[in-house]
Chains A and B, each alone.
Chain A
Amino acid sequence: AQSVTQLDSQVPVFEEAPVELRCNYSSSVSVYLFWYVQYPNQGLQLLLKYLSGSTLVKGINGFEAEFNKSQTSFHLRKPSVHISDTAEYFCAVSDTGRRALTFGSGTRLQVQP
């Protein structure tokens, strides 16, 4: 069975500051990793994904994430956030054979002026 732990339920940060949203996963097999963003009253939108290869993955809106196999982590980072980045962020894992994604409980990023 797989599981995802997002260590912070809320992250307040000032505009233009850097941010890191933490994600750890548990799986007995190789995995694919994803970060999705959800704006209020909307569905989930893919930010970025790790499939294989380079452990540093770049996504949309200036976000990037680093896969660390030894620490089973996939933390999301942005060097300078905007007010418009205020949203809920979900980390998710899919093993290379299973069909569905398993999501973490989410981290609410609150960007303050």
Chain B
Amino acid sequence: DTGVSQNPRHKITKRGQNVTFRCDPISEHNRLYWYRQTLGQGPEFLTYFQNEAQLEKSRLLSDRFSAERPKGSFSTLEIQRTEQGDSAMYLCASRARDSNTGELFFGEGSRLTVL
């Protein structure tokens, strides 16, 4: 399978704990995006990487959130000191180097439940 891969698919944690999600984009896609989706809402943009550079961050990305893409391949999204309001689906997407249309390819998401 050469699609976007995310893990873990589900994570249940207690408030105050740290969690980390991983995203492996489609091979050779140089652009990688993180979105958050809460129940009944559309995906909300969090951050974007081109290769290893983080080029854009949403105001939704508080200082408890950090994303990295150290070698321009996989990416991690860490949430520190989780709060119940962090419960959501975290979606990763990638985009081809030569795409100028904005089309994104999504993974199946990582669902976070904070108790």
Contact = CB atoms under 8 A, between A and B. Distances in A.
Given A42-B108, A43-B109, A99-B55, A34 B42 contact: no
Contacts, number: 62
Q: Which of B33, B43, B101, B108 neighbours the largest number of chain A CB atoms within 10 Å of its CB?
A: B43
Interface residues of B, number: 26
B43 A44 contact: yes
B45 interface: yes
Interface of B: 4, 31, 33, 35, 40-45, 48, 50, 55-56, 91, 93, 100-109
Given A4-B42, A99-B55, A100-B56, 15 more contacts: A41-B108, A42-B109, A43-B91, A43-B108, A43-B109, A44-B43, A44-B106, A45-B106, A46-B103, A49-B103, A99-B48, A99-B102, A101-B45, A101-B104, A106-B40
